Amino acid sequence: MKKLGDVVVVAPDSPQSGMGHAITIGETLRLYEEDIFEDVVAFKSSGTPADCVKLAKHHVLKERKPDLVVSGINHGSNTSISVLYSGTMSAAIEGALEGYPSIGFSLCDYSSKAEFDHLEEYVYKICKQVLDHGMAKGVALNVNFPPKRNESIRGIKICRQAHAKWQEVFEERFDPNGRNYFWMAGNFVNFDKGEDNDEWAIANNYVSIVPCQYDLTAHHAISQMNQDWNWEMF
């Protein structure tokens, strides 16, 4: 990001995977300036990723308007349905809510030894495209990178979200005091056979870009409900 302009970091002070679009209500919200990046103003917050964007807008950058909000790079995939659970993407979507061009980046590799060095040129190019061409209002980009492989990344695909989901299993366990607790496990199942979705792109060594929006209205259902449902009984 330093190649593109002045950078200000506001980030959570602890891992926030699976936080979704949670915000801190009814609890204290801490914010501390940190000197951990060279020539970059940085703050850590006790809040969620979405909190960090709000704090950046209303406190850290209250006299400035950012040109771009960037979240990540997340360690692990945020393709398909994972976008709903992702703290990384929720920060980007919060940026879009505030009216800023916003991007969430994720690497589809959960290994503790995952390599990120092959992503830099793509992060730069994608951010440069957004700065040069702008973004539709209310849209955030969900960008996922394939893990580092023997062959180079084959290119970039603009995709739709794949039809896939997590099939969870809740294992009941017992602590040393004999009290039961549950541990969530499960498998990711891809039902999508198309070649225009983010799961296909990653599997075939492409960078996937899915334009996302915060409007969750199922517009196609409105006319059907108005036409077929009977409201006269009320």
Q: What is the pLDDT of residues 27-60, one digit of tens each?
A: 999 999 999 998 999 999 999 999 999 999 999 9
The verdict on residue 123 lying in a domain is yes
Residue 74 counted as an annotated binding residue: yes
CA dihedral 110, 102, 62, 98 (to 10 degrees): -110
pLDDT of amino acid 230: 84
pLDDT of amino acid 109: 95
pLDDT of amino acid 77: 95
How many structural domains comprise the chain?
1
> Is there a contact between 174 and 136 (Cβ–Cβ < 8 Å)?
no
What does the pLDDT look like over 179-209, one tens digit per residue?
999 999 989 999 999 999 999 999 999 999 9
Residue 78 counted as an annotated binding residue: no
Strand partners, 32: 44
The verdict on residue 196 lying in a domain is yes
pLDDT of amino acid 19: 86
The verdict on residue 221 lying in a domain is no
> Is there a contact between 77 and 106 (Cβ–Cβ < 8 Å)?
yes
The verdict on residue 233 lying in a domain is no
Domain containing residue 79: CATH number: 3.40.1210.10
Half-sphere exposure of 163 (CA within 13 A, CB side): 5
pLDDT of amino acid 172: 95
The verdict on residue 80 lying in a domain is yes
pLDDT of amino acid 162: 97
pLDDT of amino acid 234: 63
Q: Which portions of the chain are predicted below pLDDT 70?
A: 233-234
Which domain covers residue 55, as residue numbers?
A: 8-214
The verdict on residue 84 lying in a domain is yes
Q: How many CB atoms lie within 10 A of CB 118?
A: 15
Structure tokens at 142: 């969900």
Average pLDDT, the chain: 94
Total-model pTM = 0.93
